[in-house]
Chains A and B, each alone.
Chain A
């Protein structure tokens, strides 16, 4: 099994799982889906500089084969941005759940299953 096959198939599995979860109706699953999806995207960006083994990271005049440094910088930026965005989405989803009593992404007022909602107990009792 080659390195390319491994990386490509793991990106594929992550994307498939991410898209499946992102299409679900509840915010928690959607957020998890977005996380998986952004992992896949980060790996993909990383691989866009080609997969190389044992190559120096930065160009030097003595070597002809080096790892492309730019995708690493891009991935770093992308990680920071998606991390921030995901954190925002989590807080927003939680806030929306507490304020509207529904964690449906499509905003319908579908009541949650019994015990799902922000019950009075959950809000009152301090967590151990």
Chain B
């Protein structure tokens, strides 16, 4: 095998090597550990871009671990969608890492950089794997890293939210295993492509069990994606997490969405008998409810990080409204909006941190306080992030929502989708306007003796990069949507994926 063929596993190997190195170097030579973390993220980004470019021609590359042929061994599958997700994850890691290092958030504990790398290992693995049990393992890797990262910096609020987050996810993992056990008992395979073929051959006696397994599996993914009514763990967890890490967590809910997009057409597609598209009827109402709950939370949030957490829920809802159509064009719109909403969520968390660092005891609460340094610049960043999160022009949220509205027009229940998306956009705009005007326009006289906090502008770099990328995503919408549409077609053509993975002509 040539070196380029081995590139497929690079997004997993790079952080796996960087994490222990950073761990060893952290105490003695901190700067070296930080450089290793940056180098690892840059290398991941490079590898992801090469894979993105290689997948553009539509070939589905597979990488058999240990050279065990599918379906007996574990395979990694690189197609357009997984390349998009890898690139997105690497980009997000770069932004989060820059912010963590600039704001010195990485110095609040010894193990920030190793944990950060393990988090990336889990994310990249989940995007790459073509094996259902392997997906579970990578989920656990990213979860255990996220537990520790979420607690980074400690304090009672984080510990309280952490207990809930950990317990909810352990229950979720157990349900994932039950669904896996059912599917293995029914089909005798764990390879997703192979499972899709074998599901079609199941007898009538097994259809009920198959339906149970399908719904259970998608429920677990919905829990990760924070779909209503499984969203209750998210707001408190994300609002108390260190903002640099919360910005990376914006992609964690998208792992759930990605898994739904990956698994449902591949395993529970047209050929699956009673389980064919079994989760589809529940997805649209749940997604619409998620969008409403999320943007209602944006409307009433008491501080910026809580608002950002609810915006993540709302954007996942909007995203899944598009996914629930299961048509090539709705899925294409969903992929475009997925990238956008991840970056927008990250930008919101970072801006919340920029504000909180300057307002001393006021933090990021949505109450008027004394004038703080660089208020106009911070206000500008907040406005840009809010525009992106709600989907107003000129940033890419507008194009994403427009694409979703246009594509769901032919699907049943489009009226609900339109109503929910348009109404939640309005609610979101009002919510962001409320907090923005309270923080950036109103002011109270400075309290005696309190000197304004002087912070350098360097911490505005990470949110500015995120917003610049959103602008670029908006300008490059033409090629981006074309790539997304091709990715959507590839995902929905489960038979072609099965042929590529199982190596049949």
Contact = CB atoms under 8 A, between A and B. Distances in A.
Contacts of B140: 81, 85
Contacts of A100: 156, 159-160
A48 interface: yes
A92 B173 contact: no
B184 A74 contact: yes
A84 B144 CA distance: 9
Contacts of A84: 144
Interface stretch (A2-10, A37-45, A118-126): A37-45
State the majority secondary structure of interface residues on B: helix
B107 to A, nearest CB: 21
B35 interface: no
A81 B180 CA distance: 15
A84 B246 CA distance: 24
Interface of B: 133, 137, 140, 143-144, 147, 151, 156, 159-164, 166-167, 170-171, 173-174, 177-178, 180-182, 184-185, 188, 190, 236
A70 B71 CA distance: 13
18 contacts: A42-B177, A44-B177, A45-B177, A45-B180, A50-B185, A70-B190, A71-B181, A74-B180, A81-B140, A82-B173, A84-B144, A88-B166, A92-B163, A92-B166, A93-B163, A96-B156, A96-B159, A100-B156
Contacts of B185: 47-50
B453 to A, nearest CB: 27
Contact of A81 (B137, B156, B162, B184): B137
Interface of A: 22, 27, 30, 34, 37-38, 41-42, 44-45, 47-50, 68, 70-71, 74, 77-78, 81-82, 84-86, 88-89, 92-93, 95-96, 99-100, 105-107
Nearest to B134: A77
B163 A44 contact: no
A109 to B, nearest CB: 9
Nearest to A73: B133
Contacts, number: 93
CB-CB nearest 5 A-B residue pairs:
A107-B160, A48-B185, A96-B159, A48-B181, A45-B181
A68 B188 CA distance: 9
Given A68-B188, A81-B173, A89-B167, 18 more contacts: A30-B167, A41-B174, A45-B181, A47-B185, A48-B181, A49-B184, A70-B184, A78-B177, A81-B140, A82-B173, A85-B170, A89-B170, A92-B147, A100-B156, A100-B159, A100-B160, A105-B163, A106-B164
A5 B190 CA distance: 26
A107 B164 contact: yes
A100 B164 CA distance: 14
Contacts of B182: 48
Given A89-B166, A105-B163, A106-B164, A71 B177 contact: no
B163 A22 contact: no
Nearest to A45: B181
